[in-house]
């Protein structure tokens, strides 16, 4: 998982979303089509080419009162249209640590 913080050029290989951390509490959020943020990946706006990705990212970065550290993350969309994280890093961000967590949510 090369850290997306090292993302330089925007080039996407498949369906992607913009994700970030909500400013006031740091919780993982996804950019929605309604120009807001949601904690639910299924609300995320999906982009499918680099221009769309660039536009969604620009709009997201501009809203840094809402969320910080926005970047483009890959997702998979299954037959029923359900959005799934595209790699282990995003999987962990969505579902939490893999360490049989002591975290009391």
How many residues lie near other proteins (CB under 8 A)?
Answer: 29
- Residues numbered 62-101 forming contacts with other proteins, rule: CB under 8 A: 64-65, 68-69, 87-89, 92-93, 96-100
Quick check: 13 binds other proteins (CB under 8 A)? no
DSSP state for residue 44 in the 8-state scheme: B
Quick check: 25 binds other proteins (CB under 8 A)? yes
Two tokens, residue 76: 């998979």
Two tokens, residue 7: 């993302």
Among 7, 14, 26, 40, binds other proteins (CB under 8 A): 26
Two tokens, residue 22: 């909500």
CA 6 to chain centre: 15
CB 18 within 8 A of CB 45: yes
Among 10, 12, 15, 28, binds other proteins (CB under 8 A): 28
Q: Is 93 helix (H, G, I), strand (E, B) or coil?
A: helix
List interacting residues with other proteins (CB under 8 A).
1-3, 5, 21, 23-28, 64-65, 68-69, 87-89, 92-93, 96-100, 102-105
């Amino acid at each position: 998982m090369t850290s997306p913080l090292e993302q330089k050029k925007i080039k996407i290989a498949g369906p992607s979303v913009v994700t970030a951390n909500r400013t006031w509490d740091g919780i993982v959020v996804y950019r929605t089509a309604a120009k807001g943020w949601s904690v639910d990946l299924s609300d995320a706006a999906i982009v499918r080419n680099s221009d769309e990705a660039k536009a969604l990212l620009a709009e997201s970065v501009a809203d840094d009162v809402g969320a910080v550290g926005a970047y483009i993350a890959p997702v998979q969309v299954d037959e029923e249209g359900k959005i799934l994280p595209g790699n282990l890093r995003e999987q962990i961000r969505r579902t939490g640590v893999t360490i049989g967590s002591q975290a009391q949510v």
